Amino acid sequence: AAFFSWLDYLDELVLGAHPVVADAIAETMEEKFFQGILQPQLLQMSELDVLSATAMLTGTVRQIRAPPLLHRLVLFLLGPDRHPETPGDTPHPLRTQLIDRCNHLSDEISLASLRLFEELLRKPHEHVARSLVLRNLETRGYLQRGPPVPEERGPPETDPDEDGLDLEEDPYFTDGFPDAGFRTAKKPLPGSGKGQVSEVVSR
């Protein structure tokens, strides 16, 4: 508890300090604490020492908000390399050690290491995603481009005028049907029934 209270005070001090003073404090913090105390403990072989050092480092990552301190901490853990990793490269020793411990024989060390990287990925620092993920994806093609797929089209629509006559004009359309069924009734001429109506009324 005393350590994290001191760390919170230091973080607030760097946040409000002049940039020159903030950089000087961050540089001293990296030299005296990150490299002088944390790194030897993280590289220990004892399981208890590794667990306590990883837990302290996870809390440190979670609590630091000042950009100068965060920048120094990220470079201390992951190294400055940004190019894609190749088999002939010399990896950053602490970064490699921390990644390997995510699949450790001890479940406690694996979980503690995964929590550390979870906190790292939450920090608003571009180099975290670059070092852990993006640097190894930029030169690889994961999308296989195939030939364009032709669009599926239905049968072409036929124009009724192309077949010649319409059904109403087709002389064979009414074959097999009674003549009366398709003949139009003739309308009576105007005035043709007037005489009959007058006769009925007079009767």
pTM value surpassing 0.75: no
Report whether pLDDT(85) > 80.
Answer: no
More confident residue, 88 or 26: 26
- Which tokens belong to 120? 């790292």
Give 88's pLDDT tier (boundaries 50, 70, 90).
confident
pLDDT in the model for residue 78: 92
Report whether pLDDT(149) > 80.
Answer: no
Taking the domains of the chain in order of start, what are their residue ranges?
2-81+92-136
Beta carbons within 8 Å of 95's beta carbon, 6+ residues apart = 77, 78, 79, 131
pLDDT in the model for residue 202: 47
Give 64's pLDDT tier (boundaries 50, 70, 90).
very high
Report whether pLDDT(198) > 50.
Answer: no
The angle that helices 19-29 and 2-16 make with each other, rounded to 10 degrees, is 150
pLDDT in the model for residue 133: 85
pLDDT in the model for residue 151: 64
What dihedral do alpha carbons 33, 37, 43, 47 form, nearest 10°? -120
